[in-house]
Structure 1
Amino acid sequence: MEIEARRPYRMGARAAAVEATRARILEAAAALWTRRWYDDVTLQHIADEAGVSVQTIVNHFEGKDGLADVLADRLASQTAVVRQAPTGEVQAIVAVLFDDYERHGDANVLWTAQVDRVPAIARAAAHARSQHRAWLEQVFADRLPAPGPAREHELALHYAATDIYLWKLWRRDLGLSRVDAERAMCDLLTSIDPRKRNHE
């Protein structure tokens, strides 16, 4: 009976250890890929950062592309949780978006620049675009038209007004403060509100 009682404990401890190793590998890969180009980071670099062997990474993720796919899914799920904003409140929506961009914007821009060369990143970017669109539909539900061409037009405008490259332009290229950049995005989103444009 004692042996039987110990077995589930051992299995649970082993599963927890496996999950901890997997998380450590993902964190190491994320840390490296936020600073360096995808092609410049090898499995050995990731293994060294995580304190594991290359074979351990292969056992968990099959290889670099598999690791990138899992990491992209993990980051996407984290983004969905972080971006909670009240519908229709432009300032709050922009503040939530900037919280995300200020933390991950530079890394996302680095990844996006590699879309044409790295299939794993292209898949991640496609998922991110779909997720951002769904977020826009949620937070601007009060102003978007019913499904159809007019809605697609408005979503295109709102996507452009909240795109990460606009954040990069204001914060990195033009050197605006976060306060000024947020105000600029708020003004832009207010100016493209279809409810106001349609009554002009």
Structure 2
Amino acid sequence: MESEARRPYRMGARAAAMEATRTRVLEAAATLWTQRWYDDVTLQHLADEAGVSVQTIVNHFGGKDELADAMADRMASQTAVTRQAPTGDVAAIVAILFEDYERHGDANLLWIAQIDRVPAIARAAAQARVQHREWLERVFADRLPEPGPAREHALNLHYAATDVYLWKLWRRDLGLSREDAEHGMRDLLTSIDPRKRNDE
């Protein structure tokens, strides 16, 4: 008869194995969906990439949309960790943001292009917008006005100045070097500092 001490160990090992499988599937999804259109990736493609069966993916996530939701949650958590920046240090804020965009910017743009036809991606994009806005409120807390119209206006300006589409314009469309693009974003953020502006 299995001992009481042995049973929790086996249960722990099983849970660890299940979590490892779940992680492999999420990493496979991130690999494929950041390089290919959502509809072009089947559950079989995902299973092959992760080294599991399609049924395993179904057992863990239910289907493609549910897997996409889980992948978006995982990426959001990772972004929150990698985007740690000191409040008010524009140079550090821009450098950290560019590090993220240089790694994931093209994949983000691929997903954004599919918002209108893939509900899972629309949900992920909405979550990412909220997350980016909250990040802006943290890293620029020293310069933002008190809650109200002026704060909303300032946040909109900061959002535009740090959006992934601006990174795309400079790095992909205009071919600017990373150094020049970062310089441009720093200048924009300096110019829209509410503490230095005297709007009517």
Q: What are the residue-to-residue correspondences of 1:132-147 with 2, within 5 Å? A: 132-147=132-147
CA deviations 1:27-73 (Å, max 9, x no partner) are: 00100011100010000000000111101000000000000000000
Structure 1 CA distance for aligned equivalents of residues 99 and 58 of structure 2: 34
Tell me the equivalent position of 1:195: 195
CA deviations 1:14-35 (Å, max 9, x no partner) are: 0000000000000001000111
Secondary structure of the corresponding residue to residue 4 of structure 2: helix
Structure 2 CA distance for aligned equivalents of residues 96 and 198 of structure 1: 29
Quickly say closer, same or farther: Cα 1:199–1:165, change in 2 above 3 A.
closer
Tell me the equivalent position of 2:168: 168
Q: What are the residue-to-residue correspondences of 1:35-46 with 2, within 5 Å? A: 35-46=35-46
Q: What are the residue-to-residue correspondences of 1:98-109 with 2, within 5 Å? A: 98-109=98-109
- TM normalised by structure 1 equals 0.97
Across the two proteins, how many residue pairs are aligned to each other? 200
- TM normalised by structure 2 equals 0.97
Q: Displacement of 1:194 after TM fit?
A: 1.1
Tell me the equivalent position of 1:64: 64
Name the Cα RMSD after superposition. 1.3
- Give aligned-pair identity as a percent: 83
Q: Displacement of 1:4 after TM fit?
A: 1.5
Structure 1 CA distance for aligned equivalents of residues 34 and 126 of structure 2: 18
Structure 2 CA distance for aligned equivalents of residues 136 and 114 of structure 1: 25
Q: After the TM superposition, which segments of 4 or more aligned residues of structure 1 sit over 6 Å from their partners?
A: none
Please tell me the residue identity of whatever aligns with 1:156: N
Please tell me the residue identity of whatever aligns with 2:44: Q
Q: Displacement of 1:147 after TM fit?
A: 0.2
**2:68 aligned with 1:74:** no
Secondary structure of the corresponding residue to residue 13 of structure 1: helix
**2:121 aligned with 1:121:** yes
Q: Displacement of 1:199 after TM fit?
A: 8.2
Tell me the equivalent position of 1:6: 6
Secondary structure of the corresponding residue to residue 3 of structure 1: coil
Structure 2 CA distance for aligned equivalents of residues 41 and 23 of structure 1: 18
Structure 2 CA distance for aligned equivalents of residues 78 and 121 of structure 1: 17
Please tell me the residue identity of whatever aligns with 2:98: F
Secondary structure of the corresponding residue to residue 155 of structure 2: helix
Tell me the equivalent position of 1:94: 94
Question: Which runs of 5 or more structure 2 residues have no equivalent in the other structure?
Answer: none
Question: Which runs of 5 or more structure 1 residues have no equivalent in the other structure?
Answer: none
Structure 2 CA distance for aligned equivalents of residues 37 and 29 of structure 1: 12
Structure 2 CA distance for aligned equivalents of residues 140 and 120 of structure 1: 30
Secondary structure of the corresponding residue to residue 165 of structure 1: helix
